[in-house]
Structure 1
Amino acid sequence: MQNSSPHAFTTWRSALTLAPSQQKACDDVHRLHSLVASGFRTPHPSTTEPIVRPPHVLYAAQRGAPVRYAGYRTAALPERVLVQSPTVPNWKLLLTKGHLTEARTFPVHHVLDIDDVIDVQVVANPIVRRAGRRVALATPEEGSAWLRRHLARSGLETHPHQVDPGQGVRLAGKHRQTGGTITAVYRDMAARCRVVAPDRLAQALLQGIGPAKAYGCGLLRIRHVQ
């Protein structure tokens, strides 16, 4: 919901707790994507209708410590999920079916101004295109540079020493339509920033940054520093 000020707006956040059975099922990133998207379906959806994440719905999963599998740091099971949306979702069916054990939805009002100092956290999928292919950035230095570029486009100024690129963690799953394997490497990244363009930051908060948004990447979580 956009308010009169271009630097003030409200989004809806949902804090979801997955039942143990769904934590295991949603180890598949496509299954987690479908679970989130199902909160925005019509009351009487067709059973053949594909579940598609609506525009500007972003989410981030809270997981345990990564595990080492087949030489990769691999994501642990998702335990809780934070969902951001422009409209109020409906988690009642997932609660009734026992897929969720808790779902809290609440409005979050953002007020942004030039020279605000904020801490940013984001689960991101830092990649570049090389020879026509998407390649995950492997080193902390590459990850830091990627995050600083995207934050600069989002109206934020950062210092290299105030960026934490996190560590690369592998997500995997099966695509429902093609049967092919989905893989993505995410980093839980953080930075302290100064706001230089509140309008661009507002757009980034609403739309997310980087690729793989359908698989839980791109949601900016900010906290104003006093």
Structure 2
Amino acid sequence: MYLTKFRVNVQRQEARRLLSSPHRLHGAVNAAFPQPPEPGGNAARLLWRLDRNSPSEVVLFLVSPTRPDLTHLVQQAGWPAATDVPGWQTYPYGQFLNSLAVGSTWGFRLTANPVHSIRRKEGEPTKRTAHITPRHQARWLLERQERCGFEILPKPEDRRLLPIGDEYQLIVRDYRPMRFAKAGGEQPLNVTLTTVTYDGRLRVTDPERLRRTLTAGLGKAKAYGCGLMTLAPVG
């Protein structure tokens, strides 16, 4: 497995075009591989995420079973004439994954598509619907933590600002409803998607399950930049 980081040059027109459509960016990410990994089940797959740290700093992260070649992205949306720094950085990921141990704590970031299935009327088929409030979006992640191999750390009581809904070291931010065209059949299909970003701290409870979460993704819409969780040391 490999973890790759690529900074997007947001001043370039082609970069802004890619950033405006998860479907276009999905195609550009797949083009980094001679044969993109096939999605399916709990197997390791190609995952990606955009971190919009500021208007001028947008970073693309990839996790993939094979090493990517982002030459085309550097030419389209990077700094192709820069010779003093590489266009992207790729790191072997397996050693880090294998080092995860029960009880270790990490900072994490995840962009996900928190949805649930509802039935508006008796007898109607269920419909997938996005959670739209931070409380329900947070609960969506909390409901999945055990099966994904981690637990989100609680806040010390003296740091809780609210009696309910502020118990965890978890921030839900960047609620982003999107609508974009996806090529398919004779006419383009319109895709509606809602994403949020989670930042927080977790404790490893099951290293094998967490490794699967980090390499197979969490939740729906993985082809469109959702599901990739990354970890960082806690200072």
Q: TM-score, normalised by structure 2?
A: 0.75
Residue 98 of structure 1 and its aligned partner are, at CA, apart by 3.4
Structure with the largest fraction of strand: 1
Residue 93 to residue 200, structure 1, CA distance change in 2 (3 Å): same
State the identity %. Answer: 25
Matches of 1:124 and 1:78, distance apart in 2: 20
Match of 1:200 among 203, 209, 212: 209
Matches of 1:80 and 1:116, distance apart in 2: 27
The number of residues matched between the two structures is: 196
1:12 matched residue in structure 2 = 2
1:130 matched residue in structure 2 = 118
Residue 164 of structure 1 and its aligned partner are, at CA, apart by 1.6
Residue 215 of structure 1 and its aligned partner are, at CA, apart by 0.6
- Where do residues 145-184 of structure 1 align in structure 2 (5 Å cutoff)? 145-158=139-152, 159=154, 160-178=167-185, 179-184=188-193
- Where do residues 1-226 of structure 1 align in structure 2 (5 Å cutoff)? 11-19=1-9, 20-26=12-18, 27-41=20-34, 54-55=38-39, 56-63=45-52, 79-95=58-74, 97-101=75-79, 102-108=87-93, 109-110=95-96, 111-131=99-119, 132-158=126-152, 159=154, 160-178=167-185, 179-225=188-234
Q: How far does the alpha carbon of each residue in 1:48-89 deviate from its partner, in whole angstroms, 9 at most, with x for none?
A: xxxx66431111112366xxxxxxxxxx89943111111111
Residue 170 to residue 53, structure 1, CA distance change in 2 (3 Å): farther
Residue 225 of structure 1 and its aligned partner are, at CA, apart by 2.6
Residue 202 of structure 1 and its aligned partner are, at CA, apart by 0.8
Q: How far does the alpha carbon of each residue in 1:175-194 deviate from its partner, in whole angstroms, 9 at most, with x for none?
A: 01140111211111122111
Matches of 1:139 and 1:124, distance apart in 2: 14
Contact between 1:60 and 1:123, CA under 8 Å: does it hold in 2? yes
- The amino acid that maps onto 2:148 is S
Contact between 1:156 and 1:194, CA under 8 Å: does it hold in 2? yes
Contact between 2:26 and 2:224, CA under 8 Å: does it hold in 1? yes
Residue 191 to residue 171, structure 1, CA distance change in 2 (3 Å): same
Where structure 2 has 5 or more consecutive residues not aligned to the other structure, the ranges are: 40-44, 80-86, 120-125, 155-166
Contact between 2:106 and 2:202, CA under 8 Å: does it hold in 1? yes
Residue 174 to residue 125, structure 1, CA distance change in 2 (3 Å): same
Secondary structure in 2 aligned to 1:153? coil
Contact between 1:23 and 1:79, CA under 8 Å: does it hold in 2? no
Q: RMSD value over aligned CA atoms?
A: 2.3
Secondary structure in 2 aligned to 1:36? helix
Where structure 1 has 5 or more consecutive residues not aligned to the other structure, the ranges are: 1-10, 43-51, 66-75
Contact between 2:174 and 2:197, CA under 8 Å: does it hold in 1? yes
- The amino acid that maps onto 1:98 is Q
